[in-house]
Amino acid sequence: MPGESIPLRKTPHSRPSSTLRPEEFDADDAESRTFSSPVLVSAASSRQPSRNPSPFASPPGQPRALQEPASPDASDLEFDDWDEPDAAMPSDLRPELDREDGRANAPLLGHKADEGTERPQLSRRSTHTLHERDPETQAKFETRRKYTYAGIFLALSLVSFTVQTETAVYIQHELKWEKPYCMLYMTHGSWVLLWPVQLLLLRLQNWSTPWPTFWRRHVQLLRQTSLMVQHQTLHPSVRQSQHSPVPYMVKMTAFVTCALTVAGGSWYLAVNLTTASDLTAIYNCSAFFAYAFSVPLLHEKLRLPKVLAVAIAIVGVFIVAYGGPSPAKHGNKSGGGAGGEKAPPSHEAQNRALGNTIIGIGSVLYGFYEVLYKKLACPPEGCSPGRGMVFANTFGSMIGLFTVLVLWIPLPFLHYTGWEEFGLPRGQQASMMAISVLANATFSGSFLILISLTSPVLSSVAALLTIFIVAIVDQLLPPPLNHPLTSATIVGGLLIIGAFILLSWATYKEMDEDRRKKLEESDSDVDD
């Protein structure tokens, strides 16, 4: 298979090779001209020595005219940018379009051109490398690009979480379908759709690429990103690349999924034991615990703006939870919802102290889960946003697959013990449940991408915005779903918004500074 071309220098006493292009060879001035012509060599032959004599060697008795360059080391292959269309890649994965525009036939080694020889044009990759030499400009560009992607998925997560909250509360309060673990199983199991939907969207974007090539590149990208995640480096060594990352990803999927299931299940255990206000206030303290776990596990520095932003956000949540005559609606990140005018009154809470203890543990575990996912299942800093988004959805789909294959086991036990009789929703329950489950899958995929691109702390505080958004939606809904805004909801919502803006600014500045320092300390460019 044709691969990267090697420039060869013609000497005065050598005969023209059959691979030379006729228009570049002139017999009359062959003695006085020196030129270079590309000879195509396969990727395999350029890396492995052959027992046969080199086809470039001169015949016996004649001076050697062609020289083979040293074979490149496998560790020089940079695969952290294969998700970008203009990135260089091995010849067996390079699309045909790249061969037609001349890039595939560009010499690997430079040479001095004569005065009459046309100067070769710089490729987009070379231009990109030149731009990266300015650390401050490159840091601002990369940080801005990452925040642009994060902003898109933030908006998508807020909309989908609002839909999930409204439908979940309606299912539980109006339609009276209360199957906590079954709902948890269905919502987490729906995450398995994230990767197929993503694959379909990627395929539509690259429809002209043949399917075998598209699939090979996609699998290679996932494998290489898994190696980055496992070894927490953008450039795994040859020894590290020889081992499959599948065992590591299976273990991490099981570990993260179990932490997520326990954290999400605690919400369902406490929903009937405590009040909706306590549930909302304590559950959303997970933003504080996400910051607390980020310091030792992610080596995040304690910064006053971030601490202040998290504290303001939690104060806003408490004002919304306890300031109005009825508890505000709030959704669980693992499905389900609570609050609203038809929520059980506070005096009907069966065991408020026990419920608050359970939801408190769940709040801690949910903050731990977010940090755990960032540490064990996200590519290291410097990875391209596109690659991070693709891998985040793939890992979310792995969580869904583990849920479907393993976490059905408690369902028969709960059914036969009478704790929760198994039953599928029917009629309007089924239609509303389908909307709620799909909305949760959309929110979860966007939330995983948001954590991968930014940080668990910023993502947790961003999720608190849904409390105020749900309250606004309740104001706009027609009766009997209409619920007027209260002054406490407005004040608390404004505090949450202010905290999110402050935290976003602090995180943006921190990411910009860290990237600039890394670019200044490193002489080599990181292609992302």
User: What is the per-residue pLDDT for 371?
Assistant: 94
Give residue 165's domain range. 136-522
- When mean pLDDT is compared over 108-112, 170-174, 325-329, the highest value belongs to 170-174
Is 243 a member of any domain? yes
Q: Is 52 buried (19+), middle (13-18) or exposed (0-12) by CB count in 10 A? A: exposed
User: What is the per-residue pLDDT for 256?
Assistant: 92
Is 406 a member of any domain? yes
- Please give the average per-residue pLDDT across 292-318, as a whole number: 90
Is 239 a member of any domain? yes
Strands 36-40 and 5-9: antiparallel
Residue 66 binned pLDDT confidence (cut-offs 50, 70, 90): very low
* Amino acid symbol at 83: D
Is 485 a member of any domain? yes
Residue 336 binned pLDDT confidence (cut-offs 50, 70, 90): confident
pTM above 0.85, yes or no: no
Number of folded domains in the chain?
Answer: 1
Residue where the block lists tokens 């940079």:
78
Q: CB neighbours of 401 closer than 8 A, spacing ≥ 6?
A: 192
**Alpha carbon distance 236, 234 (integer Å):** 6
Is 99 a member of any domain? no
User: What is the per-residue pLDDT for 368?
Assistant: 93
Residue 418 binned pLDDT confidence (cut-offs 50, 70, 90): confident
Is 18 a member of any domain? no
User: What is the per-residue pLDDT for 303?
Assistant: 87
Q: Are 402 and 254 in contact (CB under 8 A)?
A: yes
User: What is the per-residue pLDDT for 174?
Assistant: 81
User: What is the per-residue pLDDT for 345?
Assistant: 64
Q: CB neighbours of 363 closer than 8 A, spacing ≥ 6?
A: 282, 283, 284, 285, 286, 289
Percent of the chain surpassing pLDDT 90:
34
Is 327 a member of any domain? yes
Strands 330-331 and 36-40: unpaired
Is 16 a member of any domain? no
DSSP state of 348: G
User: What is the per-residue pLDDT for 48?
Assistant: 45
Q: Which two tokens stand for residue 190?
A: 């729906």
Q: Of all helices (H) and strands (E), which one includes residue 40?
A: strand 36-40
DSSP state of 330: E
Q: Are 423 and 179 in contact (CB under 8 A)?
A: yes
